[in-house]
Amino acid sequence: METHRLQLAACTQEHIPVLMKWIQSETQCREWGGPFFRYPFDTQSFAEDCSWQKLPSFVLQGVAGKLLAFGQFYRRLERCHLGRLIVAPEARGCGIGKSLIRLLAKQGCNALATDQCSLFVLKNNRPAQALYEKIGFQRRDYPEPFEGLELCHFMTASAKEILEMEI
């Protein structure tokens, strides 16, 4: 996959049906969207639960606008928190995840005027943990009570480290 030809774009209504197809089971839905994301979903419930119109939500597109990934960011604990990261099933293992995180971190840190990023990752999601650690994220203790924290790791990284990584 030619990562230099990727483009981060704002998520639109037309992206939602494609994104919905990437989530094929209730387990995948919970892993991606969290414990309160409704499943089975329809276009309306998916849009509501995903909050794509309320949170800064982006898609990573390839040549001819092909949808390759999705992610969101928002401020959490004075960091640019990355959430609901997902890569198209057919594009996994090609470096798309690294590109998504790098571009989202750049966009988010600029928008939120911060130099730190964070994310949650499920403890049983070893491939995602390995990717995040390779990018420079490190596990940290979460400083306050949070429902579902026993199921995931809280990870942080400096934006500088993320932005300087080679893709």
The answer to whether 5 and 99 have CB atoms below 8 angstroms apart is no
- Give the pLDDT mean for 106-129: 95
The answer to whether 77 and 118 have CB atoms below 8 angstroms apart is yes
Look up the pTM and report it. Answer: 0.94
Q: Which domains does the chain have, with CATH numbers?
A: 3-164 (3.40.630.30)
Mean predicted lDDT score pLDDT of the chain: 94
Is residue 90 pLDDT above 60, yes or no? Answer: yes
Q: Which pLDDT belongs to residue 4?
A: 63
- Give the pLDDT mean for 88-114: 96
Q: Which pLDDT belongs to residue 148?
A: 85
Residue 73, both tokens: 């960011």
For 71-86, the pLDDT digits (tens) are 999 999 999 999 999 9
Residue 106, both tokens: 């750049």
Confidence at 8, pLDDT banded by 50, 70, 90: very high
